[in-house]
Amino acid sequence: MIEIRNLAKAYGATPVLKGCSTSVAKGEVVVVCGPSGSGKSTLIKCVNGLEAFQGGSVSVDGISVGDPKTDLPRLRARVGMVFQHFELFPHMSVRQNLALAQLKVLGRDAAEADARATKLLERVGLAAHADKFPGQLSGGQQQRVAIARALAMDPICMLFDEPTSALDPEMIGEVLDVMVELAHEGMTMMVVTHEMGFARKVAHRVIFMDQGEIVEDAPAAQFFEAPASERAKTFLARILHH
């Protein structure tokens, strides 16, 4: 589903990604973790071309992201993405947030888009809030709306960029529950997160990044029980023991 080959990116003279290669198969859940500044957010933003890259290749469902001939908006419409800061559109109601791209990108009619929106809001438990504005919702609710907004496009896979990092601790659970449910339904997911409980529960593989490199790429159980590298061991010790 997602193929990343020798991906390289630099901001000016500073390398951010130094030849990363990995892949995510259909139905697979892959967690990407690592210390801040390790390049994991940049990596996931390269998957749908939000960040440009200089070397290597990325393809989604066989379509090359870096190819200038690729219709990027069309590809992105099939790849759902959830951001750290939710990024709901503050000038639109929840319902309008879910409808916008369905109307403008998929060409659905208003009734169809609204029906899809209602169904997904029910699914994330927020049907009662459909006519509120994002500013009237809690962080956890906003992030669930953001997930519903991405799902409204019927994506073939989902990217999550630290979806719980900006949330108060008591709201993390409600967002993770939605994500766990998605994973159990067989959604292909690439998730940048520090939530190791989530990774243990649903991830098939864990990718550990440090300083722009993929240091470890292993089945989840193996990664947690016997991390191969010193860097991964130090990282795990640091985030699990507090």
Say how far apart CA 228 and CA 95 lie, in whole Å: 47
User: Are 82 and 119 contacting, i.e. CB atoms less than 8 angstroms apart?
Assistant: no
76 binds another protein (CB under 8 A): yes
235 near another protein (CB under 8 A):
no
Stretch that binds another protein, among 79-87, 185-193, 196-204, 229-237 (CB under 8 A): 79-87
Near another protein by CB under 8 A: residue from 79, 176, 179, 203: 79
Pick the closer one to another protein by CB: 119 or 200: 119
184 binds another protein (CB under 8 A): no
DSSP codes joined into one string, the chain: -EEEEEEEEEETTEEEEEEEEEEE-TT-EEEEE-STTSSHHHHHHHHTTSS--SEEEEEETTEESS-TTS-HHHHHTTEEEE-TT----TTS-HHHHHHHHHHHTS---HHHHHHHHHHHHHHTT-GGGTTS-GGGS-HHHHHHHHHHHHHTT--SEEEEESTTTTS-HHHHHHHHHHHHHHHHTT--EEEE---HHHHHHH-SEEEEEETTEEEEEEEHHHHHH--SSHHHHHHHHHHH--
Q: Which of 74, 122, 229, 238 binds another protein (CB under 8 A)?
A: 74
Residue from 37, 73, 186, 219 touching another protein (CB under 8 A): that is 73
Q: Which is nearer to another protein, 32 or 150 (CB)?
A: 150
Q: Which of 83, 160, 208, 223 binds another protein (CB under 8 A)?
A: 83
Q: Which stretch binds another protein (CB under 8 A): 20-28, 68-76, 199-207, 228-236?
A: 68-76
- Taking the C-alpha atoms of residue 53 and residue 231, their distance in angstroms, rounded to an integer, is 26
For residue 50, state whether it binds another protein (rule: CB under 8 A).
Answer: yes
- 59/216 with CB nearer another protein: 59
Q: Which is nearer to another protein, 100 or 236 (CB)?
A: 100
User: Is 121 an interacting residue with respect to another protein (CB under 8 A)?
Assistant: no
- Asked if 48 touches another protein (CB under 8 A), the answer is yes
Beta pairing, strands 157-161 & 189-192: parallel
Q: Which of 6, 21, 37, 105 binds another protein (CB under 8 A)?
A: 105
As a whole number of angstroms, the distance between CA 20 and CA 212 comes to: 8
Asked if 45 touches another protein (CB under 8 A), the answer is: yes
Nearer to another protein, 44 or 196 (CB): 44
Return residues touching another protein (CB under 8 A): 45, 48, 50, 72-74, 76-81, 83, 85, 87-91, 100-101, 104-106, 135, 146, 149-150, 153
